[in-house]
Amino acid sequence: MARPKDARSGGERAARSTINDVARIAGVSKKTVSRVINRSPLLNEETREKVEKVIRELGYVPNPQARALALRRNFLIGLIHDNPNAQMVLNVQQGILEALAGTEFEMVVRPVDRSSQMMIEDVRHFLERQRLFGVVLLPPISENDALARLCDEVGCRYVRMGSAELDDADHMVASNDRDAVREATDHLIEQGHKLIGLIEGPDGFRSARERRLGFEDSLAAAGHKLPRSLIARGNYTFETGVTAAERLLDLSPRPTAIFASNDEMAAGVVFAARERGISVPEELSVIGFDDTPIAAHIWPPLTTVRWPIVSMARSAARKLVGDMVGGLAAGEQPSELPSTLVKRASVAPPPA
């Protein structure tokens, strides 16, 4: 706060330099400067260095608005999401921003309403108006193929994030939820659980399906059966987790473990157990998915699957801008990232 008053005021506050200034001082034409900026290969090495020196001295930075107009393309990466979960959106933002740091790109956020009839047209207008460079599509809306087609149509790059592959590697960054959930459920089975409840995600979500499949894989491999009554459905919110858990916990015989398809719902399970005086993990083991902060902040801290959402988002954004920043090419960005089981205190062997 306390800084020298006049450190950077007045005289130094010169108007920003333009490409013309650079050209004039370097003794070349605008076009040549433009070539330097855009790394044109047909350019004399000496000329390039001369111009770059002037650029450095002037602290010249090309005007993004002018570039956007001339190129008919903005240096903006959009994040389109249909907020499934606050923490997840924020993690994705963090990942994207990490990838964009130090580049000329900025991130604009665009929440949409999946249930709206107008959604596709809204997004179309958004993309066309802003002429976005590219967009990152978050689940669950990333599963909408019409959106992907739309991006192609308006000439906007896109990368979809998801729980399983649903596009080619250039347009997709995925985790492998099925295997991850299988591993988590295996952990429950290894502890001796036989009656394991599942709280799955909403109908139509790919992540919900993948996680259920992983759950079923594990049970099938262990030779356990899965009566329909042990499957409840939630929509990834705490409240629906509570409701689903209440149904499962009123069953007789009662499951000794529950896998919830995300942490919010798993927190709901713990909450519901608490209401009924069922102690976790002594009488009920619980596993969640995502490893959001809530998992570590409730009592007992939740065993959960750490979903690599930040890395996925970073990877997605790099795929979009990768070839613009002279770094890794798009293809070199991983398209599938691994999840890991983090064991905390919500799992124990079933009561004898």
Partner DNA sequence: TCGTCGTTGACACCGGTTACCATCGCGCCA
Partner DNA sequence: TGGCGCGATGGTAACCGGTGTCAACGACGA
The residues that touch its own copies, with contacts defined as CB under 8 A, are: 1, 3, 9, 13, 16, 61, 63-66, 68-69, 72, 74, 76, 86-87, 89-90, 93-94, 97, 104, 106-111, 120, 125, 128-131, 144-146, 153, 238, 264, 267-268, 270-271, 274-275, 293-294, 296-299
Kindly tell me which of 76 and 174 has the beta carbon lying closer to its own copies: 76
Q: 128 touches which of its own copies, DNA, none (CB within 5 to 8 A by kind)?
A: its own copies
Q: How far is the CB of 69 from DNA (least distance, A)?
A: 4
Q: Chain-centre distance of CA 111, in angstroms?
A: 14
Q: 118 touches which of DNA, its own copies, none (CB within 5 to 8 A by kind)?
A: none
- Helix, strand and coil content of the chain, in percent to the nearest 5, comes to 45, 15, 40
Residue 127's alpha-carbon distances to 82, 112, 133, 153, in angstroms, are 16, 13, 9, 10
To the nearest 10 degrees (0 to 180), the angle between helices 238-249 and 263-275 is 50
Q: 53 touches which of DNA, its own copies, none (CB within 5 to 8 A by kind)?
A: none
Kindly tell me which of 34 and 311 has the beta carbon lying closer to DNA: 34
Q: Which residues are CB-contacts of 96 (< 8 A; sequence separation ≥ 6)? A: 77, 79, 107, 136, 313, 314, 316, 317
Report d(CA 302, CA 347) in Å as an integer. 8
SS3 225: coil
Kindly tell me which of 63 and 229 has the beta carbon lying closer to its own copies: 63
Query: If you ran DSSP here, which 8-state letter would residue 228 be given?
Result: G
Cα dihedral 222, 228, 229, 231, rounded to 10, equals 70
Kindly tell me which of 75 and 205 has the beta carbon lying closer to DNA: 75
Kindly tell me which of 47 and 311 has the beta carbon lying closer to DNA: 47
Q: 31 touches which of its own copies, DNA, none (CB within 5 to 8 A by kind)?
A: DNA
Q: 110 touches which of its own copies, DNA, none (CB within 5 to 8 A by kind)?
A: its own copies
Report d(CA 343, CA 224) in Å as an integer. 23
Q: How far is the CB of 332 from its own copies (least distance, A)?
A: 26
Q: How far is the CB of 150 from DNA (least distance, A)?
A: 20
Residues forming contacts to DNA in the complex (CB under 7 A) are 16, 18-20, 23, 27-35, 37-38, 42-47, 60, 62-63, 65-67, 69-72
Backbone angles phi, psi at 189, to 5 degrees: -65, -40
Report d(CA 210, CA 155) in Å as an integer. 31
Contact 302, 346 (CB under 8 A): yes
Q: Amino acid identity, residue 64?
A: P
Strand intervals (E) in 43-103: 76-81
Q: How far is the CB of 25 from DNA (least distance, A)?
A: 12
Kindly tell me which of 198 and 273 has the beta carbon lying closer to its own copies: 273
Q: How far is the CB of 39 from its own copies (least distance, A)?
A: 19
Q: 130 touches which of its own copies, DNA, none (CB within 5 to 8 A by kind)?
A: its own copies
Q: Which residues are CB-contacts of 278 (< 8 A; sequence separation ≥ 6)? A: 249, 284
Q: How far is the CB of 144 from DNA (least distance, A)?
A: 29
Backbone angles phi, psi at 82, to 5 degrees: -120, 80
Q: 232 touches which of its own copies, DNA, none (CB within 5 to 8 A by kind)?
A: none
Q: 278 touches which of DNA, its own copies, none (CB within 5 to 8 A by kind)?
A: none
Q: Amino acid identity, residue 225?
A: K
Q: 27 touches which of its own copies, DNA, none (CB within 5 to 8 A by kind)?
A: DNA
Q: How far is the CB of 129 from DNA (least distance, A)?
A: 10
Report d(CA 219, CA 205) in Å as an integer. 22
Q: How far is the CB of 110 from its own copies (least distance, A)?
A: 8
